[in-house]
Amino acid sequence: MIIGRFGSISDSKEFVHVYQNAKKWHCDCAVVYFLESSSTKFAAVASKKVGKAVIRNRSKRLLRSAFYSFGNELKDGVYILIAKAGLEKLPYDRIQKSLKWSLKKVNSIL
């Protein structure tokens, strides 16, 4: 999969469909949902439980950056990453390692 080909998930029906049908894995920094599909879409989500807007945005940026670092290792499909509270305090390499482990568990890494 090429990074430039990510679409975004904006419709709430798509989110509900993925939540109900996707493989799910919890790690210490996020919850990873993966649903195989011919199109490739991605969303990073942070609820108000994570913190105020600045912290939520930083958490989403960290998740996006770690996710994009896997590049061509990822299968085509729909990905949703839900940030957990305290993510912004973790070192980047731990986030990346934890996310890679989660992606392996949902069989989304080639």
Q: What is this structure's pTM? A: 0.90
Comparing C-alpha atoms, which of 23, 80, 25 is closest to residue 47?
80
How far is Cα 103 from Cα 90, in angstroms, rounded to an integer? 18
List of residues 6+ apart from 3 with CB closer than 8 A = 68, 71
| 63-100 confidence digits (pLDDT tens) | 999 999 987 888 989 999 999 999 999 999 999 999 99
pLDDT of res. 110: 77
Residue 1 has pLDDT above 70, yes or no: no
Q: What domains can be seen in the chain, in order of their start residue?
A: 3-105 (3.30.230.10)
